[in-house]
Structure 1
Amino acid sequence: MNTNQIEGLTGMAAVLAILVLLALPSVLGIVRDRRIDRQIREAQEIGDVKVAQKSSSRSTVPSTATWYADGRRSKKLVSS
Structure 2
Amino acid sequence: MTTSQTEGLLGMIAVIGILGLLILPAVIGIAHDRMIDRQISRSQRKEAKGENETRRPSRTRRRHGVAHPV
Give the ranges of 4+ consecutive aligned residues of structure 1 lying more than 3 Å apart after TM superposition: none
Question: Greater Rg, structure 1 or structure 2?
Answer: 1
Counterpart in 2 of 1:22?
A: 22
Q: How many residues align?
A: 51
Structure number with higher helix proportion: 1
TM-score by length of 2: 0.71
Counterpart in 2 of 1:36?
A: 36
Gaps of 5+ in 1: 52-80
Gaps of 5+ in 2: 52-70
Structure 2 CA distance, aligned partners of 1:8 and 1:46? 56
The alignment yields a C-alpha RMSD, in angstroms, of 1.0
Counterpart in 2 of 1:4?
A: 4
> Which AA in structure 2 matches 1:48?
A
